[in-house]
Chain A
Amino acid sequence: DGGITQSPKYLFRKEGQNVTLSCEQNLNHDAMYWYRQDPGQGLRLIYYSQIVNDFQKGDIAEGYSVSREKKESFPLTVTSAQKNPTAFYLCASSPETGYNYGYTFGSGTRLTVV
Chain B
Amino acid sequence: GNSVTQMEGPVTLSEEAFLTINCTYTATGYPSLFWYVQYPGEGLQLLLKATKADDKGSNKGFEATYRKETTSFHLEKGSVQVSDSAVYFCALRIPNTGNQFYFGTGTSLTVIP
Contacts and interface: CB of A to CB of B under 8 A. Distances in A.
B49 to A, nearest CB: 6
Nearest to A42: B105
Nearest to A98: B99
A100 interface: yes
A15 interface: no
B95 interface: yes
Nearest to A108: B43
Interface in B30-47: 31-32, 34, 36, 41-46
Interface string A96-111: 1111101111111000
Nearest to B96: A99
Given A41-B105, A50-B98, A58-B100, A99 B46 contact: no
A31 interface: yes
A100 B100 contact: no
A104 B89 CA distance: 14
Interface in B96-113: 98-101, 103-106
Interface residues of A, number: 28
B6 to A, nearest CB: 8
Nearest to A31: B99
Contacts of B93: 99-100
Contacts of A107: 41-43
A43 interface: yes
A99 B36 CA distance: 16
Contacts of A99: 31-32, 93-95, 99
A48 B97 CA distance: 11
Contact of B43 (A41, A58, A96, A105): A105
Interface of B: 31-32, 34, 36, 41-46, 49, 51, 89, 93-95, 98-101, 103-106
Interface of A: 4, 6, 31, 33, 40-43, 45, 48, 50, 56, 58, 90, 92, 94, 96-100, 102-108
